[in-house]
Structure 1
Amino acid sequence: MTEAIFFDTLRQALWVAVAISAPLLFVALVVGVVIGLFQALTSVQEMTLTFVPKVGAMIGVFWVSMTFMSGMLVSFFTDSIVPLIAGY
């Protein structure tokens, strides 16, 4: 395996990691901003008010996008990693 193949595979793996984590991070960001605005407007400073809805929203998004995430990982593995292991 040459350095070019190694770095190309690493670049693809990082891109897959970014694409898989993007929906969860985006929802956490949006819910965090909305709850932060709500807390600033109402002067309610409760720690569970930020944590519980954010975790609930992330679990929901994870459940909805699980097929996308697993499909992307399987595709990356079968298209990139298996041929490298098999030596194609």
Structure 2
Amino acid sequence: MTEVEIADIFRQFMWTAVWMGAPIIGTALVVGIVVGLFQALTSIQELTLTFAPKLLMMLLVFWLTAGHMARLLANIFDSVVIATIAGV
């Protein structure tokens, strides 16, 4: 295996990690902005008001996208790891 092949495998794994984490990170961003705007408009500065909705929405999105994440992980495993072990 050359350095180029190792870098390509690493790049594929990193992009898979980005696509797996994007829905959860995006949800945290959107909920954080909405709750921040709500707090700014109402002058409520409660710490749990930012934490609880963000956590609940992130768990919901994780539950909804867990199948997609598993498919991404299985695809990268089949196309990269098994192929590398087999020497294809």
* TM-score, normalised by the number of residues in structure 1: 0.98
Letter in 2 for 1:3: E
Match of 2:15 in 1: 15
Match of 2:82 in 1: 82
Q: Which runs of 5+ in 1 are unaligned?
A: none
Detail structure 1 runs of 4+ shifted over 3 Å in the superposition.
none
SS class of match (1:44): coil
Match of 2:31 in 1: 31
Q: Which runs of 5+ in 2 are unaligned?
A: none
Tell me how far 1:36 sits from its aligned partner: 0.1
Q: Distance in 2 between matches of 1:85 and 1:50?
A: 46
What percent identity do the matched residue pairs reach?
49
Q: Distance in 2 between matches of 1:35 and 1:43?
A: 11
Q: Distance in 1 between matches of 2:85 and 2:46?
A: 51
Match of 2:65 in 1: 65
User: How many residues are treated as equivalent by the alignment?
Assistant: 88
Letter in 1 for 2:43: S
CA RMSD of aligned residues (A): 0.5
* TM-score, normalised by the number of residues in structure 2: 0.98
Q: Distance in 1 between matches of 2:83 and 2:53?
A: 42
